[in-house]
Amino acid sequence: MKELSLNILDVAENSVKAGADLTEIIIDETAQELTLTIRDNGCGMSDEVERAVTNPFYTTRTTRKVGLGVPLLKLAAEQCGGSLTIESKTSLESPTKHGTTLVATFNKEHIDFTPLGDVVSTIQTLIQGHPEIDFLFVHSIGTERVTLDTREMREVLGDLPLNSYEVILWVREALLEQYAQIGKS
């Protein structure tokens, strides 16, 4: 993966498959460090599966026997001196607070740090592909932040699908505008 934003798109897809109705994508950046949190309220994983997901020879798909999504993100984190941890609760373990939280940290100053890349396209693509579920995106850079909450959008849009082209364009513009403001204030 050439950009972390592509790993985010890939791994957030797991949350969608876990039946989450809310997936949070939180990026916290300081000058030296980037912390990525992907949290969902999906079905969660048993301890056994939780241990297995970082193994490339574990996968949920049926077309082949390798699953590289989480291992690739783990590699991206570890190759720059960061780490990746996953915590998960199934609905059996916790009927009200089930789901999975993935936290990956990256050392931005390391030569092998993968740049974040086009995170706006990632959010746009997630909403385009899964208009029925909610995403919360928060990207903090120092004291400033870029946010998008599809629950707020849904309240305004009512039954108009979130993947209507005009809405997807609005998402793109809204995020780009916020990024353009950063550093100006």
Partner 1 sequence: MKSLAELKAIKDRMKDKVVLREGTGNVRVVVGMATCGIAAGARPVLNAFVEAVNKEGLTDKVTVTQTGCVGLCQLEPLVEIYEAGKEKVTYIKMTAEKAQTVVEKHLKGGNIVTEFTVAEAK
> How many whole angstroms separate alpha carbon 142 and alpha carbon 97?
30
In this chain, which of 37, 54, 125, 140 binds partner 1, going by CB under 8 A? 125
Exposure pattern of 118-135 as b/e (b: 16+ CB <10 Å)? Answer: ebbbbbbbbbbebbebbb
Nearer to partner 1, 67 or 99 (CB): 67
List the x/- string, 94-113, binding to partner 1 by CB under 8 A.
--------------------
List the x/- string, 53-92, binding to partner 1 by CB under 8 A.
--------x-xx--xxx--x--------------------
Q: Residue 167 interacts with partner 1 (CB under 8 A)?
A: yes
> How many whole angstroms separate alpha carbon 151 and alpha carbon 170?
15
Residue ranges of alpha helices (H) inside 79-164 are: 119-129, 150-157
Q: Residue 158 interacts with partner 1 (CB under 8 A)?
A: yes
Take residue 45 and report the two structure tokens written for it: 């994983």
Pairing of strands 33-40, 22-29: antiparallel
How many Cα neighbours within 13 Å face the side chain of 57? 0
Nearer to partner 1, 107 or 125 (CB): 125
Least Å distance, CB 69 to partner 1, is 5
CA dihedral 176, 1, 11, 120 (to 10 degrees): 10
In this chain, which of 46, 55, 160, 182 binds partner 1, going by CB under 8 A? 160
Nearer to partner 1, 91 or 121 (CB): 121
Interacting residues toward partner 1 by CB under 8 A = 1, 6, 9-10, 13, 61, 63-64, 67-69, 72, 118, 121-122, 124-125, 128-129, 152-153, 156-161, 164-168, 170, 173-174, 177-178, 181
